[in-house]
């Protein structure tokens, strides 16, 4: 029974560890990107009444909240990457307040969605990013060149179902950053969350099952023999015992004396 109890305790411990890990995964804050999240806190506009500009802005606003960073299109931001050919010509102040880096980029200047002291981030709330789309290839290539100049990682946030060519992944990862399938779409379920919920149910079952087993069989089926307590005799009984012993001794002595006389 002791061995069985140990096995049950080990199973319950495994269940507890499973529950803890599953709980941490469901909290969605351990992903290796600047948001710390595997997917967005909200689902942005993807189709319907919103035009392309509104759809893009929807993704930027959600990403700003998740990054806890200011969008780079606010009047106080407007940080740009500038072409080396633009050193003698400042971009329009209403588009770019400061050139963060000069590089051999194709455009006169580029303004990514987010620039911080530790990373660069771009939101792409779009259905597809293909290497046949020349404008997007040029934009991301310019971001990559500028990120390398600043020695900062570039993170490209797309929808979880965006059709993406691998060339973009290789470009972005060359900066030390990553392409992050991030913006949720209606009906999408995170596979990590689904697995964590299943593991949580299994871990909880192991704990409850082990506890039920211990409650039913943990103390054994045999009742332990009860020991009868020995209570010390009180002084009166002790005195009576002494008197009885004295009388018995006297009786034996009298009988021995009679035997000798006979």
Distance CA 81, CA 100 (A): 6
228-256 pLDDT, tens digit per residue, is 555 555 666 665 666 566 656 556 655 65
More confident: 120 or 29: 120
33-69 pLDDT, tens digit per residue, is 999 999 999 999 988 655 788 999 999 999 999 999 9
Could you say which DSSP state residue 85 is in? Answer: G
Query: Quick check: 212 pLDDT over 80?
Result: yes
Query: Quick check: 152 pLDDT over 50?
Result: yes
| Token output for 10 | 């080990």
Beta strands in 76-193 (DSSP E): 79-83, 98-103, 109-110, 114-115, 120-124, 128-129, 154-159, 163-164, 178-183
Distance CA 178, CA 190 (A): 19
When pLDDT is averaged across residues 152-166 and rounded to a whole number, the result is: 97
CB 86, CB 99: distance < 8 Å:
yes
Q: What is the mean pLDDT of the chain?
A: 84
Q: How confident is the model at residue 225 (pLDDT cuts 50, 70, 90)?
A: very low
Distance CA 172, CA 214 (A): 55
- Beta strands 114-115 and 128-129 are unpaired
More confident: 244 or 23: 23
Closest CA relative to residue 213, chosen from 8, 7, 1, 19: 8
Residue 254: the pLDDT is 57
| Token output for 118 | 């530790």
Tokens 């307590």 belong to which residue?
A: 229
Could you say which DSSP state residue 160 is in? Answer: T
More confident: 152 or 23: 152
Closest CA relative to residue 122, chosen from 195, 31, 183: 183
Instruction: List alpha helices for the chain, DSSP H.
Output: 2-27, 52-67, 134-150, 166-173, 191-217, 235-261
77-103 pLDDT, tens digit per residue, is 899 999 987 655 567 777 888 899 999
More confident: 231 or 143: 143
| 67 C-beta neighbours (distance < 10 Å), count | 22
């Amino acid at each position: 029974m002791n061995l069985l109890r140990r096995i049950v305790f080990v199973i319950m411990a495994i269940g507890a560890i499973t529950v803890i890990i599953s709980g941490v995964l469901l909290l969605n804050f351990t992903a290796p990107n600047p948001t710390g999240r595997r997917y967005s806190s909200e689902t942005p506009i993807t189709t319907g009444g919103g035009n392309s500009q509104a759809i893009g802005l929807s993704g930027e606003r959600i990403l700003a909240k998740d990054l806890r960073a200011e969008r780079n299109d606010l009047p106080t931001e407007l940080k740009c990457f500038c072409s080396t050919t633009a050193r003698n010509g400042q971009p329009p102040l209403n588009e770019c307040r400061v050139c963060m880096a000069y590089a051999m980029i194709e455009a006169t200047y580029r303004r990514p969605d987010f620039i911080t002291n530790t990373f660069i981030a771009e939101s792409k709330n779009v259905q597809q990013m293909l290497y046949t789309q020349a404008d997007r290839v040029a934009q991301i290539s310019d971001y990559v060149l500028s990120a390398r100049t600043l020695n900062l990682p570039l993170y490209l946030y797309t929808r979880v179902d965006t059709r993406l060519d691998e060339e973009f992944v290789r470009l972005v990862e060359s900066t030390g950053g990553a392409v992050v399938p991030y913006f949720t779409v209606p009906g999408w379920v995170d596979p990590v969350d689904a697995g964590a919920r299943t593991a949580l149910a299994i871990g909880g079952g192991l704990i409850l099952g082990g506890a039920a087993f211990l409650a039913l069989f943990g103390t054994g089926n045999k009742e332990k023999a009860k020991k009868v307590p020995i209570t010390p005799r009180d002084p009166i009984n002790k005195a009576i015992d002494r008197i009885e012993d004295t009388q018995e001794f006297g009786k034996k002595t009298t009988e021995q004396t009679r035997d000798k006389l006979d």
